[in-house]
Structure 1
């Protein structure tokens, strides 16, 4: 695991193709897109990475990520030319005009281009008045594209406030980039949020809760009709509430790291815990509740290894055991 400074240097070291692939994987993690596509080579029409907001793809709303890895800040002429190309092909009917246009420039954009972006009306006016300088000869190789009245009207109708720059600092702070940074550079995803048990028992909980009810019933010599009856018991009620807290903490932990690292990392941690509690679970105990409590103590004392180990809180390790019961890997009655 490195530092933000190291990840910044690694992103700045990517070439154009690598940057586009990095951004594609980043966009894939954004919930707003129904599909993400990377366009490369000739015929990209100014598109690098596209996030589609509807199944209609280019016939509906979409975002364009224009990726440029320069040894300096993104020049004004490049920014205007790239936007002009996309608007020209939108005018020609190749696709709808983008709802958002992002300049992905890890080293940032130069002062003049930034000033234009933050004054959309000035950006629009500059593109129109300086079309010959910035766009006419750069859209199609060896071809002159004049700004006729129809194209000019199309550009004037487009909202230039849809343009936004994306720097390396924004990449490092966007939650959707965490799993990509982890995959590419081994970035630390940070701690998982603490899970909260809902007041009402959820259907997904019923298998492990039934195991607890069986254990409570065995201890008391009388079956508990349901979780509500157990929750009202002076001794078993607090115990049940504690197990539910552990279950949902483990659930939040697993979901977070499956989204932000790899399934293998979470599976490896679970396997470490399963091995750590195996002998305790298999040993002789006075009753099922004694076995449960012994396993909870041992799970809490287990010291797993791996990239997620330092974030595996005691309730998480204990809650994973209830997930094992839900999945049929553990039974309290042997």
Structure 2
């Protein structure tokens, strides 16, 4: 019925607000004679209430639209006039295989009131530019990801979302210092471990920044796949016996930093700090422990 790709804006589908993308694959720019029938299909089938006329109707073609068709698309009144003049030749017998569609009666009235300004085109280069703004571009076409912003800086106060991995870090420090019940305040009395805590929080927030970056630049689930790869890469180390919690943590985080993760689309922007931070994210989710 003249719909190749329908873009819905609500759950009403083609009965609501939607856009139509009519795709043509020719080795030359589109001419009016190649698409008169497509105009006719859209008007006839919407008259038949098969769907609501779309908000916009775009022609998409590798070579774009030629000058004649582009001129008509820019001038809806002229497009309407030309389609009516060419209806007999291009539309009447070809809209359906079951009947001839004559431009007369109630359908002619519908034709006269139809909003021809919905018809437009998209240049292939414009399509690519728009696609670059989506999370799917780099994965499909390559060319690298968008520049990654500077990582988030840890807030001065420990956030509640950090509680679990911080608790596990304090377990490491308590064992090293020989003091139980450490808090964010009392750890400051031990400058070495206070610095260590600051660095681990930097790693965690670096990984959180990568997670946020992934939402806008790669398909859903890509960052989670990266976490899963790292977990798989260190899992065997979680079954070993260690002299203390610090050795356990350092061994696992060191292994994560050395993993070659060439299959993940994010790999071009992943740093060792991210891999370290992902270990703390996994610890935060109780998938790793020291």
TM-score above 0.5, yes or no? yes
Larger of the two Rg values belongs to structure: 2
Q: C-alpha deviations, 1:33-60, integer Å up to 9, x for none?
A: xxxxxxxxxxxx2122222222222321
Does residue 187 (structure 1) correspond to residue 145 (structure 2)? The answer is no
Query: Structure 2: how far apart are the matches of 1:152 and 1:216?
Result: 82
Gaps of 5+ in 1: 1-44
Query: Structure 1: how far apart are the matches of 2:273 and 2:279?
Result: 10
Query: Structure 2: how far apart are the matches of 1:323 and 1:241?
Result: 10
273, 282, 288: which one pairs with 1:324? 282
CA shift for structure 1 position 289: 4.7
CA shift for structure 1 position 82: 0.3
165, 171, 183: which one pairs with 1:214? 171
Q: What are the equivalent positions in structure 2 for 1:162-201 lying under 5 Å apart?
A: 162-173=118-129, 174-175=131-132, 179=136, 182=139, 187-188=141-142, 190-191=144-145, 193-194=148-149, 196=152, 199=155
Structure 2 CA distance for partners of 1:250 and 1:180, relative to 1, 3 Å: closer
Q: Provide the TM-score with structure 2 as the length reference.
A: 0.75
Structure 2 CA distance for partners of 1:256 and 1:320, relative to 1, 3 Å: farther
Q: What are the equivalent positions in structure 2 for 1:1-334 lying under 5 Å apart?
A: 45-141=1-97, 143-148=99-104, 150-173=106-129, 174-175=131-132, 179=136, 182=139, 187-188=141-142, 190-191=144-145, 193-194=148-149, 196=152, 199=155, 204-220=161-177, 221-225=179-183, 235-236=194-195, 238-252=198-212, 255=215, 259=219, 267=225, 270-271=228-229, 274-275=232-233, 279=237, 282=240, 284=242, 287-289=244-246, 291-293=248-250, 295-308=252-265, 309-332=267-290
CA shift for structure 1 position 197: 5.8
Aligned residues: 281
Cα contact 2:135–2:215 (8 A) shared by 1: no
SS of the residue aligned with 2:110?
helix
Cα contact 2:204–2:274 (8 A) shared by 1: no
Structure with more contact order per residue of length (Cα contacts < 8 Å, sep ≥ 6): 2
Structure 2 CA distance for partners of 1:158 and 1:298, relative to 1, 3 Å: same
Q: C-alpha deviations, 1:255-314, integer Å up to 9, x for none?
A: 467617x75x963774357536855995745x5456545544553344333354443222
Q: Provide the TM-score with structure 1 as the length reference.
A: 0.67
